[in-house]
Chains A and B, each alone.
Chain A
Amino acid sequence: MEKVHKPKKVFVQGPVSPEFVSKSIASHQSKTDIGAHAIFLGQIRADQKESGVVTAIEYSAYEEMAEQAFHEIREKAFARFELTCMHIYHSLGTVPVGEISLFVFVSSPHRRAAFEASEFVVEEIKTHVPVFGKELIGENGAYVWKENS
């Protein structure tokens, strides 16, 4: 049976905290048909740019279109993989180096679907979601615009 999923809120202001990640894990303890969770965390890296080291990324998005894109990615993943549950959270605003800007959490009765679905979702996000990032450099407001590869 095809489940219709309601669009879920994906964007959060600022970094995703480790506490939020652990609370999300804890909240799935009652779902006893789950055998495997795969969790992806995107962390801000201190990349070396020509003008200095990245200290943070400031995220912005074409929000309406991005929410729709996230929804379509969810639907595709549920159709392609045997999943019990899936959550995606993406930061907007400033996320300092070392902190988390993306949290993808997929749950399945079995590990194969969880591994594969999490990779699928992350790649889809990087390709199809209109999110933009300014890599902030140093202390004086310098930045370069980030481009996914």
Chain B
Amino acid sequence: MYYGMLAEITGHANELWISDENLTVGKFRSQILEKYPALREKKFKVAVNQKIAEDFAPIDPSAEIALLPPFAGG
């Protein structure tokens, strides 16, 4: 799932991500940047199942992954 300016860059709000068994957030970031190089200059956090996750965190095959640009709430 892509939010805010990230959805504009990728061209969609969400997509299915297929990957091998041992996906971590860090690996996912590299894959995403390969597919969408314009994301390289953008800051974003990765949430797995609605919790912000660090690069070492594993992603299981059924997880919901969201790319979150900087927050602007309040």
A residues sitting closer than 8 Å to B (CB atoms) are: 42, 57, 59-62, 64-66, 68, 90, 101-102, 122, 125-134, 145-148
Contact = CB atoms under 8 A, between A and B. Distances in A.
Given A62-B66, A122-B74, A148-B70, A132 B4 contact: yes
A132 B50 contact: no
B56 interface: no
Contact of B73 (A64, A125, A145): A125
B74 A130 contact: no
Given A65-B47, A126-B74, A129-B73, A145 B68 contact: no
B39 interface: no
A59 B70 CA distance: 13
9 contacts: A62-B3, A62-B68, A64-B50, A65-B51, A66-B73, A90-B74, A129-B74, A130-B71, A131-B71
A65 B66 contact: yes
B1 A133 contact: no
A90 B73 contact: yes
A113 to B, nearest CB: 21
Contacts of B51: 65
B64 to A, nearest CB: 9
Contact of B70 (A61, A64, A128, A147): A147
Contacts of B5: 132, 145
B69 interface: yes
A64 B5 CA distance: 19
Contacts of A60: 3-4
Give the residue among B47, B66, B72 with the most A Cβ atoms within 10 A: B72
Contacts of B69: 132, 145
Contact of A147 (B50, B66, B72): B72
A36 B5 CA distance: 40
